[in-house]
Amino acid sequence: MKQLKKITKQTGQGMVEYVIVLVFGVMVLTVGPGGDILLDFLGVLNDNYQGYSYSASLSTLPQHDNLALFAADALAIEDQLASLGNFSIEDSLSEAVPTLPTAEEVISEGLSNVLSF
């Protein structure tokens, strides 16, 4: 009978110990000497998710065994686009990728900014 009473008195002790250890662990991760560990971990998770979502958004490359077939397909696509209207790959690339300023343009702009004050 005494054994049964001893067991019933300790029924919630394990849960209290678990909660205390859990709270202590959370405090060490957030407030302790390495308090930015949790922020670093969240940053790593964010970077990995952004990398995954970027790679998932990329289209797949066409399956070609040799470069000649790939070039032929690329030329066929360019011809189809050109037949739709005034379109060329060179024009679209020049519009999409801005040209870099020359050294003279950079120097003259810098001098005009300095001299304007």
Rounded Cα–Cα distance for residues 70 and 96 (Å): 23
Q: Please indicate whether residue 85 or residue 14 has the higher confidence score (pLDDT).
A: 14
Query: For the residues of 6-71, what is the DSSP string, one character each?
Result: HHHHTTTHHHHHHHHHHHHHHHHHHTSTTTTHHHHHHHHHHHHHHHHHHHHHSPPPP--SSHHHHH
Q: Please indicate whether residue 17 or residue 3 has the higher confidence score (pLDDT).
A: 17
pLDDT digits (tens, 9 = 90+) for 99-116: 777 788 888 887 787 776
pLDDT at 12 over 90: no
